[in-house]
Amino acid sequence: MSTPLYGGAITAKLPAHLLDASNARPVPDSQEVWVSDHNGVIIDLLECVNDDDNPINTHIEEMERLGGSKLITDSEKIITVNEPLVQLAVIRTFPNVERQFHLPSAVGLLRLKSPADVDVLITLTGVWDNPTMELESILQSFHVKDQSLFV
């Protein structure tokens, strides 16, 4: 079942065990945060970056700068998403080391073309059995229902 995000303007299939963090604490309007005791999903609507070759690099560099630690890539995968606004979908995973909740297991990027012109960054944090599979499922279920969200 799809989860309504951003007031229902977007939907995606999130794991059923996750709870909406905005019910417990403030979450910025440009962000969705879903959590459990051992993992979470953060969805950010961000300004498109100017790295046309692989924009996920720029977003991960910003995560490293803000987090104060280097993220070593385990794998990267470009996927196909059946959403008309998506022009690029890529997943980057990080080695499965002792996970701390604030460190990413995987990061996915959906670059949305006009009229949205937005980078959607989806970050899995904490412990996941198969973060690539989980993130791919979320990305492939991503659907923009109301483009007025981007106006």
Kindly report the CATH number assigned to the domain that includes residue 83. Answer: 3.40.1000.10
Nearest of 82, 73, 79, 148 to residue 118 by alpha carbon: 148
pLDDT interval class at 99 (50, 70, 90): low
Q: What is the pTM of this model?
A: 0.93
29 token code pair: 């309007």
Whether the CB-CB separation of 51 and 119 falls below 8 Å is answered with no
Query: Does residue 24 have a pLDDT over 80?
Result: yes
Nearest of 25, 116, 47, 127 to residue 142 by alpha carbon: 116
Task: Give me the number of domains the chain comprises.
Answer: 1
One-letter amino acid of 32: E
Token pair 């979908």: residue: 89
Q: Which domain holds residue 55?
A: 3-150
* pLDDT tens per residue across span 51-88: 667 899 999 999 889 888 788 888 999 999 999 999 99
